[in-house]
Structure 1
Amino acid sequence: MALSEREQQVLRDLEEQLNDEDPSLAETMQHAETALRRPSPRRIGAGAALLLLGLAVVIGGVAAGSSSVVSILLGVLGFALAVWGVTLMLFRPSSKATAAGVGNAKRSSFMERQSERWDRRRDGQN
């Protein structure tokens, strides 16, 4: 759904206000936006390796034509590896929100421990 002209103007005004009030945060947000669009080199490398391995397994299955069952199984396995490699290269993991939640849970328990220590110190001084 496209934004109306008024909504686009409001967004531009908010962006300018953010740049004026906190330029470092605005710069960080811009870098984070471009980083989310950029694919991970590790995922691309792993996906390309799986793709090549899958193609090698398919070729090995064709070359091992002595048994049709083994040939078919190797072909299916190679195809599955190749598809897995391509999906690994093209799609980002959707577990970022879950991982962020786990990180927040660790932080909250850390913060709770720090708060308890602070309370004990404060009670000990009174």
Structure 2
Amino acid sequence: MSLSEREQRVLRDLERQLHEEDPDLAETIQHPERHLARVSPRKVGLGIALVLVGLVVVISGVVLGHGNGLVSILVGVTGFGLAVAGVALIVRRPPTLNDARGGAAKARAGRSTFMERQSERWERRRYDER
């Protein structure tokens, strides 16, 4: 089913406005293959190492648990924290251009968002047609 002339015009207006408001997002949408996050082998290796060290610490906490229960719990929690930090390091996405510049949303903090303006425009058009 094809779009009506009016719908095509609205889509062109939305696309133009998106390019004006957030050119980085528009570029990412048009060419997603250029903006795929690259996984750093160094971070993956460090994450795996942290997970393994965390597991060793947890096992050590279990072994040490025979003498003192509190020490065992603290060592186990520390090992679990190291393992979680390792997994977080592996799955965390690298920062994007917007993250490095502080983000476009922070720059427009006092103004209404793009989606709010689009919603308002949509409502106005809907009532104008009636």
TM (norm. structure 1) is 0.49
